[in-house]
Amino acid sequence: MLHHPNPHQFQLELTINGKLVKREIPTHLRLLDFLREYLGLMGSKEVCGEGECGACTVILNGQTVNSCLILAVEVHGGFIITIEGLSDTRELTEMQQAFEDHHAVQCGYCIPGMVLTGEKLLERNPHPTRAEIKYELAGNICRCTGYHKIVDAIEGVKDPDQGGLE
Amino acid sequence: MKFYQPTSIREYFELSSSLTDKTAMLLAGGTDLMPRFERGEILPDHLIDLKKLSDLYQVIVRDEFIQIGALTSIQTLAENQLLRNEFTAIQMAAHDFAGAQIRHRGTIGGNIVNASPAGDLLPGLYAFGATLTLIGQASERQVAIQDFILGPGKTALKPHEILVAIRLDRNHFESSFQKVGLRQSMAISVVNLAFVYLKKGEVYQHLKIACGAVAPTVVALDKLTSTIMDKTSKPEDWSQLIEADISPIDDIRATARYRKLVIPNLVKAFLNGKLYE
């Protein structure tokens, strides 16, 4: 959370998980804090707070970004997908199912970022090599199990051509 | 904190000149600025976000040069085919830059203006002799990158002036980039190097080597490369010629002693054609 001695308000409008959201916010509010504290979307996590770990990853206008490094006001008018918006039903996506099938989750804190990064990778490249998966995951850090099962999960998505985000 | 998003350069200058307050700051990708705020640096009273200045995203290709808008993302550089073919060192640095989330957000202009001694795009830009276009309220000037970056975090930007584009002349040189970090990605470089050259047989017709994180700014190893080109130095002189141009320090990532060893080793590996073996 950033602080400022003279908060200034801003009327923010943006589309989150397909819904138009309007809120009055202080200009120094980070996108991550807006998602968690104003909207109650707790899937995006804060760990390092400085863009190293990827636990706060969301998809902004089609690209993965660290929501801890962005002010909410910067994305006024933008389109955001968080882990909560990945599936519009209660069903898991192929990627989420693969994480479960491969036991790729231990504490779970890094997983929303891992899943979103994996989804964007398969959207662009449905059949990545292990090296390509590792390259893409460089900005997502796991401190529990290491990365083998996470890479296995992304590699093992059953029907990668059907997955991905619009 | 008041937040502004000017949508034209004219609007930016009107705004900027109205804010005589010293605590106005410019924002591009935010990947360097935001962590400074996280660490407790005071936010400015006025923050001007440049990302709606559409002119600053243009990439213009001509027969003689490529001109890259200052807000071009690191990811866009990494995916650019012309850079890959003709400015390989810069494309390689962009490809190996941090992680995808940072590459999507970080900009070439931000990497330059941030003026970090370890900025990964900088050795390639120095070695290719990049020229920067700076515009002020009633002026436009072209500055060579080595005259623009004055020290860590210090540049030749005048009040209200902004960096709008980076120009690289298309000389069809070969090039390569190498960095040493504590891990392959997401690690600030211990040292980084760009090699730009044109070789006929065993003879260098052109050779420029720039390295970062070994001095307050990126340095070109001109004492070494000029004597290699005019054949006045021998391999046993090379370490000394390199050391004459660098002044590394100890920091949390590595010691000065290590940097003084690794730079000559990498340069010699390159000159002996064994850099990637």
Domain boundaries, chain B: 1-52, 181-271
Min Cα–Cα distance to chain A from B229, Å: 37
Backbone angles phi, psi at A17, to 5 degrees: 50, 40
pLDDT by 10s per residue, chain A, length 166? 888 888 899 999 999 999 999 999 999 999 999 999 999 999 999 999 999 999 999 999 999 999 999 999 999 999 999 999 998 788 999 999 999 999 999 999 999 999 999 999 999 999 999 999 999 999 999 998 779 999 999 999 987 776 556 4
Strand, coil or helix: B222:
helix
Give the contacts of B157 (CB within 8 A, at least 6 positions apart).
B113, B134, B148, B163
Backbone angles phi, psi at B29, to 5 degrees: -75, -25
| Domains of chain A (ranges, CATH numbers) | 9-84 (3.10.20.30), 94-158 (1.10.150.120)
End-to-end CA distance of chain B: 52
Asked whether the beta carbons of residue A64 and residue B101 sit closer than 8 angstroms, the reply is: yes
Cα B45 from Cα A74, distance rounded (Å): 16
Cα A61 from Cα B73, distance rounded (Å): 14
Asked whether the beta carbons of residue A10 and residue B185 sit closer than 8 angstroms, the reply is: no
pLDDT by 10s per residue, chain B, length 277? 999 999 999 999 999 999 976 689 999 999 999 999 999 898 999 999 999 999 999 999 999 999 999 999 999 999 999 999 999 999 999 999 999 999 999 999 999 999 999 999 999 999 999 999 999 999 999 999 999 999 999 999 999 999 999 999 999 999 999 999 887 777 889 999 999 999 999 899 999 999 999 999 999 999 999 999 999 999 999 999 999 999 999 998 999 999 999 999 999 999 988 887 6
Which residue has 């700014």 as its token pair? B217
Cα B11 from Cα B171, distance rounded (Å): 37
Which residue has 């709008």 as its token pair? B164
Asked whether the beta carbons of residue B101 and residue A66 sit closer than 8 angstroms, the reply is: yes
Contacts of A64 in chain B (CB under 8 A): 100-101, 104
Substitution target in B26, B101, B102 with the highest count of A β-carbons within 10 Å is B101
Asked whether the beta carbons of residue B1 and residue A27 sit closer than 8 angstroms, the reply is: yes
Asked whether the beta carbons of residue A139 and residue B30 sit closer than 8 angstroms, the reply is: no
Contacts of A4 in chain B (CB under 8 A): 1, 43
Q: Residue by residue, what is the 3-state secondary structure of chain A?
A: CCCCCCCCEEEEEEEECCEEEEEEEECCCEHHHHHHHHCCCCCCCCCCCCCCCCCCEEEECCEEEEHHHCEHHHHCCCEEECHHHCCCCCCCCHHHHHHHHCCCCCCCCCHHHHHHHHHHHHHHCCCCCHHHHHHHHHHCCCCCCCCHHHHHHHHCCCCHHHCCCC
Cα A33 from Cα B49, distance rounded (Å): 20
Chain B: residue whose CA lies nearest to A7: B1
pTM for the model stands at 0.95
What class does CATH assign to B1-52?
A: alpha beta
Q: Which residues of chain B approach chain A closer than 8 Å at the C-beta? A: 1-3, 5, 27, 30-31, 34-35, 37-39, 43, 45, 47, 49, 51, 75, 98-102, 104-105, 184-186
Are A12 and A76 a contacting pair, CB within 8 Å? yes
Among B2, B35, B101, beta carbon nearest to A27: B2
Asked whether the beta carbons of residue A71 and residue B30 sit closer than 8 angstroms, the reply is: yes
Cα B101 from Cα A58, distance rounded (Å): 9
Write out pLDDT tens, residues B250-275: 998 999 999 999 999 999 999 988 88
Among B3, B38, B99, beta carbon nearest to A139: B99
Give the contacts of A80 (CB within 8 A, at least 6 positions apart).
A14, A15, A16, A17, A31, A35, A58, A59, A60
Q: What is the pLDDT of residue B21?
A: 66
Fold classification of B181-271 (topology level): Enolase-like; domain 1 (3.30.390)
Q: What is the pLDDT of residue A162?
A: 66
Write out pLDDT tens, residues B111-148: 999 999 999 999 999 999 999 999 999 999 999 999 99
Contacts of A125 in chain B (CB under 8 A): none
